[in-house]
Amino acid sequence: MSAPEGGEATTEAARRRTFAIISHPDAGKTTLTEKFLLYGGALTTGAGAVKAREGRRAVTSDWMEMERQRGISITSTVLQFPYRDHVVNLLDTPGHRDFSEDTYRVLAAADAAVMVLDAAKGIEPQTLKLFEVCRERGLPLLTFINKWDRPGRDPLEVIDEVEQRIGVVPTPLTWPVGLAGDFRGVVDRRTGDYVRFTRVARGATEAPEEVLDAAGAADAEGEAWTRAADELSLLDEVGASHDDELFRAGETSPTFFGSALTNFGVRLLLDAVVDLAPSPTPRLDEAGKERPLDAPFSGLVFKVQSNMDRAHRDRIAYLRVCSGRFERGMVVTHARTHKPFATKYAHSVFGQERETVEVAWPGDVVGLVNATEVRVGDTLYLDEHVAYPEIPSFAPEQFSVVRVRDTGKAKQFRKGVTQLDEEGVVQVLRDLDMGDQAPVLAAVGPMQFEVAVHRLETEFGAPVELSPTSYTVARVTDEASTTPLRGMRGVTVLERADGTRLALFESRFWLDRVLADQPDLTLDPLVGNAMVG
């Protein structure tokens, strides 16, 4: 199958907006996600809560049992919906720093990101790394200051913190009228209009908006308008204005104020995603060469997720279409194995729900069901060979030995551990001599261990126990260095499924001493180490 004629893929890509939402826990990311779907017409209302058409879909993005129990996102999901003659691909990300590696993988499939901040809390230290991950990828970033309907901080203080902590310059495109907790509406700095909001019961429908000019706003809001006008004058003086080139370079961030719970400001933000966020562009392959949008089909697998459908125990590989036209049933080539791969079972995804997809274009995300040989970072292509750069793993910071408590469940245990490793829930390290008997789980943060244990027990029926180790830092090593390293106190060498050998040390001090005493040993930082400190 050849590339589409007449630039069809380029034309279709121009209609796509593929972006991720990132935030710290409880900033309102899931609520904002659902309100985007409401404004996009993908959801209707029922019983005071946002529900899907005909009641088919309820909680749209947080589907894992642990997520519902804790009220935070710990997995990523994909949601597609139409808006203003565009196709919006919304990638929801985990809301905790322990899953920043999963966030990084999702961002590999996005063309932009929306950062959601709590008006009262601003940027919390525990999740600063989530935002650093976004900046590391150089993605254009829009900022949404959420919960302005509740008591919070001064708006100038919040945007100043964004610049100081993240290093991007906020350029407010809307500005709140009324202090946090007394939210009246926003000024659209692009038009000078005042958009006044009206509450609706439980935020179940779109918030009615009244547009007033400056004179009308002054009459309607009095002192609140005067305060906002003074703040807007200050923003004008310091030059905090939108520059499209700087935004796309990741140096500035168009900033919006609102309340996802009451739907205040949601439409303006969604409009900005369509108007400002870039459409898909040609991607660089592993050789640094651009793959044109109208080249034959190619795609990057950025996530693998199992058991979303508990009844069928399925496995979905999420593939971002990078070039060309995807057609269900086409036989493509798996770049890593060079084997043919059939795409008969291809779905568009909406959280946990799915429908068969027949055609997809650059920027779209396709769920390939039961793609057992596909791994995160793999490339699939048609006709012309291409392989996109691998998605790096983060350097783990915590290590625990995992053992099955019931030896009769050893088979389920091995299957579950392998599956979690392939999905990237945790990294699995095996002793060169002991194999799968007591592998070491390596993670960025402790919640990854909780998820691993929960899934092993509930999805695979393998009750396990974790035993923390004293190791705190890992380095890549090789076969020649393995024997002397394993003979040292406070050091062990384990192996990942891809054959990479990792030397684990009990402290950075001991690592530094070994590097000084035996510089001939191979002890290289892991790819991605700089991103996790």
- Annotated binding-site residues read 23-30, 92-96
505 CB-near residues (< 8 Å, 6+ apart): 471, 472, 473, 474, 475, 490, 491, 511, 514
Helix axes 155-166, 223-238, angle to 10 degrees: 30
| Pair of tokens at residue 203 | 């935020």
User: Angle 514-517-522 (CA atoms, 0-180°, nearest 5)?
Assistant: 55
Q: How far apart are CA 462 and CA 358, in angstroms?
A: 38
**Angle at the Cα of 123 from the Cα atoms of 118 and 127, rounded to 5 degrees:** 105
Which of these, 350, 368, 348, lies nearest to 358 by C-alpha position? 348
CA 120 and chain centroid, separation: 23
Spacing of C-alpha 47 from chain mean position: 30
- 318 neighbors 109 (Cβ within 8 angstroms): yes
**Alpha-carbon gap, residue 370 to 372, rounded angstroms:** 5
User: Given the structure tokens 């993605």, which residue do they identify?
Assistant: 139
Q: Are 56 and 33 in contact (CB under 8 A)?
A: no
Give binding residues for GTP as ranges.
Answer: 23-30, 92-96
Place of tokens 């036209």: 325
3-class DSSP assignment, residue 400: strand
- Residues 337, 338, 343, 348, CA torsion sign: positive
Supply φ then ψ for residue 500, to 5 degrees: -70, 130
Query: Please, what sign has the CA dihedral across residues 32, 38, 41, 42?
Result: positive
Contacts of 454 (CB under 8 A, 6+ apart): 65, 66
| Secondary structure letter of residue 96 according to DSSP | S
- CA 413 – CA 404 distance, rounded (Å): 6
Task: Transcribe 414-427 into DSSP letters.
Answer: HHHHHHHHHHTSSE
User: Rounded distance, CA 449 to CA 426, Å?
Assistant: 7
